[in-house]
Structure 1
Amino acid sequence: MALPIEDYALIGDRGTAALVGRDGSIDWLCLPRFDSPACFAALLGTEDHGRWLLAPADEVVSTSRRYVDGTAILETTFTTAGGELVLLDVMPVGDDRADVVRRVTCTRGTVLVRHDWVVRTDYGRVRPWVTREHAHGNEVVVAIAGPDKLVLRGPRLPAGHSGHHRDEFEMNEGDEATFSTTWVRSWREVPKPMGFDERIAATTDQQREWSARSPSDVPHADMVRRSLLTLMLMTHADTGGIVAAPTTSLPEDFGGERNWDYRFCWLRDAALTLESLLGAGYADEALEWRHWLLRAVAGDPADLQIMYAVDGGRDLPERELGHLPGYADSRPVRIGNGAVTQRQNDVLGEVMIALELSRQAGLDETRNSWALQRALVEELAEHWDEPDNGLWEIRGPQRHFTHSRVMVWVAFDRAVRAVEDHGLEGPVERWRELRDRVREEVLDKGYDAERGTFTQHYDTREVDASLLTIPLVGFLPGDDPRVLGTIDAVTDDLMRNGLLVRYRTQSGVDGLEGDEHPFLACSFWLVAALAAAGRRDEAEELMERLCGLANDVGLLSEEYDTTYDGGRGRMAGNFPQAFSHLALVQAALALR
Structure 2
Amino acid sequence: MSYQPIENYGIIGNMRTVALVGMNGSIDWYCCPHFDSPSVFGALLDDKKGGHFQISADADGVRHKQFYWPSTNVLVTRFLLKDGIVELEDFMPAGLPSDSPAYHHIYRRIRCVRGAARIWVECRPAFDYGRQNHETLIEANGARFKAGNLTLALSTTVPLSDDGQGGVSAHFVLTEGQSQTFILGEKSVAGRAPTPPSEKEGEELLRDTVKFWHQWLSACTYHGRWREHVHRSALALKLLTFEPTGAIIAAPTTSLPEVIGGVRNWDYRYTWMRDAAFTVYAFLRIGFRDEAAAFLGWIEDYASKHASRNAPSPVMFTIEGGTEIPEQTLEHWEGYQGSRPVRIGNAAVSQFQGDIYGELMDAMYLSNKYVSPTPYDIWVKIRNRLEWICENWQLPDAGIWEMRNRQEHFVYSKVMNWVALDRGIRLADKRALPADRAKWIRERDRICEEVMSQGWNEKRKSFTQFYGSEDLDASLLIMPLVFFMAPTDPRMLKTLDAILENPRQGGLVSDGLVHRYPPHPRIDGLPGEEGTFNMCSFWLVEALTRAGQAYPEKLDQARLLFERVLGYANHLGLYAEQTGPQGEALGNFPQAFTHLALISAAFNLDRMLGSQV
Q: Does TM, scored on the shorter chain, surpass 0.5?
A: yes
Answer whether contact 1:147 1:185 (CA < 8 A) is retained: no
2:294 counterpart letter in structure 1: E
Match of 1:172 in 2: 175
Between the aligned partners of 1:395 and 1:297, the Cα distance in structure 2 is: 26
Match of 2:349 in 1: 340
Comparing 190-199 with 545-554, greater Cα deviation is found at 190-199
Answer whether contact 1:119 1:127 (CA < 8 A) is retained: no
1:213 is paired with a residue of what secondary structure? coil
Match of 1:42 in 2: 43
Match of 1:576 in 2: 590
Answer whether contact 1:271 1:354 (CA < 8 A) is retained: yes
Comparing 36-45 with 54-63, greater Cα deviation is found at 54-63
Match of 1:561 in 2: 580
2:133 paired with 1:142: no
Between the aligned partners of 1:557 and 1:84, the Cα distance in structure 2 is: 30
- Deviation, 1:221, is 1.1
1:544 is paired with a residue of what secondary structure? helix
Identity %: 40
2:265 is paired with a residue of what secondary structure? coil
Answer whether contact 1:231 1:578 (CA < 8 A) is retained: yes
Comparing 305-314 with 287-296, greater Cα deviation is found at 287-296
Structure 1 stretches of 5 or more lacking a match? Answer: none
Between the aligned partners of 2:420 and 2:545, the Cα distance in structure 1 is: 24
Answer whether contact 1:86 1:104 (CA < 8 A) is retained: yes
Q: 1:589 to 1:190 in 2, by over 3 A?
A: same
Answer whether contact 2:121 2:171 (CA < 8 A) is retained: yes
1:251 is paired with a residue of what secondary structure? coil
- Deviation, 1:303, is 5.2
1:290 counterpart letter in structure 2: L
Match of 2:110 in 1: 104
Between the aligned partners of 2:51 and 2:575, the Cα distance in structure 1 is: 25
Between the aligned partners of 1:157 and 1:249, the Cα distance in structure 2 is: 36
Between the aligned partners of 1:156 and 1:193, the Cα distance in structure 2 is: 10
Q: Write the deviation string for residues 430-472 of structure 1: whole angstroms up to 9, x where unpaired.
A: 1011101111111111011333211100021111000000110
Q: 1:237 to 1:199 in 2, by over 3 A?
A: farther
Comparing 259-268 with 120-129, greater Cα deviation is found at 120-129
Between the aligned partners of 1:218 and 1:272, the Cα distance in structure 2 is: 21
Q: Map residues 246-285 of structure 1 onto 2, 5 A cutoff.
A: 246-285=252-291
2:206 paired with 1:200: yes
- Deviation, 1:381, is 1.9
Q: Write the deviation string for residues 147-181 of structure 1: whole angstroms up to 9, x where unpaired.
A: 21110001114210212311100011110111110
Match of 2:24 in 1: 23
Q: Map residues 405-484 of structure 1 onto 2, 5 A cutoff.
A: 405-484=414-493
Q: Map residues 143-542 of structure 1 onto 2, 5 A cutoff.
A: 143-163=145-165, 164-184=167-187, 195-294=201-300, 295-298=302-305, 299-301=307-309, 302=311, 304-492=313-501, 493-534=507-548, 535-542=554-561
Q: Write the deviation string for residues 321-380 of structure 1: whole angstroms up to 9, x where unpaired.
A: 011111011100000001011111110000001111111214121122211211211222
Answer whether contact 1:116 1:158 (CA < 8 A) is retained: no
Match of 2:610 in 1: none
Q: Write the deviation string for residues 544-584 of structure 1: whole angstroms up to 9, x where unpaired.
A: 0111111111111110013x2xxxx2111110010100100
Between the aligned partners of 1:119 and 1:575, the Cα distance in structure 2 is: 21
Question: In structure 2, which of residues 540, 565, 573 is the aligned counterpart of residue 546 of structure 1?
Answer: 565
Answer whether contact 2:352 2:397 (CA < 8 A) is retained: yes
Answer whether contact 1:111 1:171 (CA < 8 A) is retained: yes
Between the aligned partners of 2:486 and 2:459, the Cα distance in structure 1 is: 21
Q: Write the deviation string for residues 510-549 of structure 1: whole angstroms up to 9, x where unpaired.
A: 1211120100000100000001111110000010011111
Q: Write the deviation string for residues 395-435 of structure 1: whole angstroms up to 9, x where unpaired.
A: 11100000000000111111111112221221111101110
Between the aligned partners of 1:213 and 1:588, the Cα distance in structure 2 is: 17
- Deviation, 1:290, is 1.3
Comparing 213-222 with 388-397, greater Cα deviation is found at 213-222
Q: Write the deviation string for residues 103-152 of structure 1: whole angstroms up to 9, x where unpaired.
A: 0111111100001010110112333111124xxxx523110112211100
**Which TM-score applies when normalising by structure 2?**
0.92
1:151 is paired with a residue of what secondary structure? strand
Answer whether contact 1:102 1:178 (CA < 8 A) is retained: yes
Answer whether contact 1:273 1:289 (CA < 8 A) is retained: no
1:117 is paired with a residue of what secondary structure? strand
Between the aligned partners of 1:43 and 1:179, the Cα distance in structure 2 is: 21
Between the aligned partners of 2:317 and 2:509, the Cα distance in structure 1 is: 33
Between the aligned partners of 1:328 and 1:40, the Cα distance in structure 2 is: 16
Match of 2:78 in 1: 77
Q: 1:532 to 1:185 in 2, by over 3 A?
A: farther
Q: 1:407 to 1:53 in 2, by over 3 A?
A: same
2:120 is paired with a residue of what secondary structure? strand
2:29 counterpart letter in structure 1: W
Answer whether contact 2:251 2:592 (CA < 8 A) is retained: yes
Answer whether contact 2:282 2:600 (CA < 8 A) is retained: yes
Answer whether contact 1:48 1:118 (CA < 8 A) is retained: no
Q: Write the deviation string for residues 480-514 of structure 1: whole angstroms up to 9, x where unpaired.
A: 00100111112221112331111124233212111
Answer whether contact 1:352 1:414 (CA < 8 A) is retained: yes
Answer whether contact 2:39 2:128 (CA < 8 A) is retained: yes
2:413 counterpart letter in structure 1: S
Question: In structure 1, which of residues 581, 585, 589 is the aligned counterpart of residue 599 of structure 2?
Answer: 585
1:506 is paired with a residue of what secondary structure? coil
Answer whether contact 1:147 1:186 (CA < 8 A) is retained: no
Q: 1:175 to 1:189 in 2, by over 3 A?
A: closer
Structure 2 stretches of 5 or more lacking a match? Answer: 502-506, 549-553, 608-613
Comparing 258-267 with 300-309, greater Cα deviation is found at 300-309
Answer whether contact 1:561 1:571 (CA < 8 A) is retained: yes
Between the aligned partners of 2:437 and 2:194, the Cα distance in structure 1 is: 57
Answer whether contact 2:183 2:196 (CA < 8 A) is retained: no
1:169 is paired with a residue of what secondary structure? strand
Answer whether contact 1:37 1:121 (CA < 8 A) is retained: yes
Between the aligned partners of 1:177 and 1:190, the Cα distance in structure 2 is: 16
Between the aligned partners of 2:478 and 2:545, the Cα distance in structure 1 is: 12
1:257 is paired with a residue of what secondary structure? coil
Q: Write the deviation string for residues 222-247 of structure 1: whole angstroms up to 9, x where unpaired.
A: 10000001000110111111111110
1:467 is paired with a residue of what secondary structure? helix
Answer whether contact 2:13 2:239 (CA < 8 A) is retained: yes
- Deviation, 1:187, is 11
Q: 1:182 to 1:487 in 2, by over 3 A?
A: same
